[in-house]
Amino acid sequence: MAAFGRRYLVELPDASVLDCVTRGRRAAIACGDTVAVARTADGQGVIESIAERRSLLYRSDRHRQKLLAANATQVVIVVAPVPAWHEDLVNRCLAAAEHGGLRALIALNKSDLPEFAAAQEALEGHRRLGYPVVPFSAKRDIAPLVAHLKGETSLLVGQSGMGKSTIINALMPGASARIAEISRALDSGRHTTTHARLYHLDATSHVIDSPGLQEFGLHHLEPDELAAAFIEFRPWIGQCRFRNCRHVTEPGCAIAAACKREEIAASRLESYRELVRHREL
């Protein structure tokens, strides 16, 4: 359900929760993992093993990886008119979802603001690519988003200030009180907004809330994997002059040519190229 430093909250089939640690060195456990545990004391336990994952979403730079969620089925990228979101971050989240085999949608929060129409227009390119853009106001009516969460295990990602905490409170009144209760129990209040947490909407619908993102590195992906993760590039992959084309500065690049014909958005191509350049620093 959650990770707090070297301690993990594990929910049992009877809905009780154990405060767990791992044996030996710290294991790479993600929110949403299914684990086997052994009780060690009242309310406490140790994680013995991790079940095979159906999916794993993480970000990385040259030095480390940060696990975000395991066993999610879709990624919900939360944006809002104010504060302004970074398109490059949205593109990276979409690429991560594509590479991980997860569905993705963009949740456009704060539809009550006067800047909303411009924000909706700015996302039209993503909508044309096939990504659903769901407009709503978490403070007024969460129902439009709920319809897309049914039967899914959804990972919420987005920059700080987009309203993810408001969404969680609208979906599950009392969630904040539960978070505070957990934090007091673990004496780790400073971690309440820095780790992912899983909530149940109903028996088949779950939401994993993640910390606010300011960057989303994909250093673990090779250039060919990155290119395939940008869905509009796929028709042109394999058509470049050079078989090992990275689609950055090489002559005869089919993807660059498609961009010149406005069949690929320049901002999307630049997001891809920035990821490739970052890998090669």
Separation of alpha carbons 188 and 4, rounded Å: 7
Determine the residue type at 196. A
Token readout for 248 is 């950055």
Residue 132 and residue 239 share a domain = no
Determine the residue type at 173. P
Q: Indicate which CATH number applies to the domain containing 132.
A: 3.40.50.300
Residue 241 and residue 150 share a domain = no
Inter-helix orientation angle 175-186/164-171, to 10°: 110
Number of domains in the chain: 3
Residue 263 and residue 203 share a domain = no
User: Residue 178: which domain range?
Assistant: 56-209
pLDDT tens-digit profile, the chain (281 residues): 988 778 899 999 999 999 999 987 666 899 999 999 999 999 999 999 999 999 999 888 877 888 889 999 999 999 999 998 999 999 999 999 999 999 999 999 999 999 999 999 999 999 999 999 999 999 999 999 999 999 999 999 998 889 898 999 999 886 654 544 554 455 443 334 467 899 999 999 999 998 877 778 888 889 999 999 999 999 999 999 999 999 999 999 999 999 999 999 999 999 999 999 988 76
Separation of alpha carbons 30 and 130, rounded Å: 29
Q: Is residue 274 part of a domain?
A: yes
**What pLDDT score does 246 carry?**
94
Q: Is residue 127 part of a domain?
A: yes
Report yes or no: 57 and 36 within 8 Å, Cβ to Cβ: no
Separation of alpha carbons 11 and 267, rounded Å: 42
Q: Is residue 214 part of a domain?
A: no
Q: Is residue 262 part of a domain?
A: yes
Q: Is residue 265 part of a domain?
A: yes
| Residue 98 φ/ψ region, left for φ over 0, alpha for ψ in the -120 to 50 degree band, beta for the rest | alpha
In 3D space, the residue among 255, 257, 250, 258 whose CA is nearest the CA of residue 272 turns out to be 255
Q: Is residue 240 part of a domain?
A: yes
**What pLDDT score does 178 carry?**
52
> Residue 10 burial by CB count (10 A; 0-12/13-18/19+): exposed, middle or buried?
buried
Residue 280 CA neighbour count, 13 Å, CB half: 10
Residue 255 and residue 138 share a domain = no
Report yes or no: 164 and 78 within 8 Å, Cβ to Cβ: yes
Q: Indicate which CATH number applies to the domain containing 268.
A: 1.10.40.50
Residue 4 CA neighbour count, 13 Å, CB half: 21
Residue 167 and residue 86 share a domain = yes
Does an H or E element contain 228, and which? helix 223-229
**What pLDDT score does 213 carry?**
76
Distances (CA, A) of 62 to 69, 74, 79, 162, 187: 20, 26, 27, 28, 32
Residue 247 and residue 186 share a domain = no
Residue 46 and residue 60 share a domain = no
Report yes or no: 56 and 86 within 8 Å, Cβ to Cβ: no
Residue 82 and residue 132 share a domain = yes
**What pLDDT score does 61 carry?**
81
**What pLDDT score does 173 carry?**
82
- Of 209, 236, 258, at which residue does a domain stop? 209
Which residues face 198 on adjacent strands?
A: 208
**What pLDDT score does 190 carry?**
39
Residue 248 and residue 142 share a domain = no
Q: Is residue 218 part of a domain?
A: no
- Whether pTM exceeds 0.75: yes
Residue 69 and residue 161 share a domain = yes
Residue 260 and residue 163 share a domain = no
Q: Is residue 82 part of a domain?
A: yes
Residue 121 and residue 102 share a domain = yes
**What pLDDT score does 189 carry?**
36
Helix (H, G, I), strand (E, B) or coil at 128: helix
- Of 209, 236, 270, at which residue does a domain stop? 209
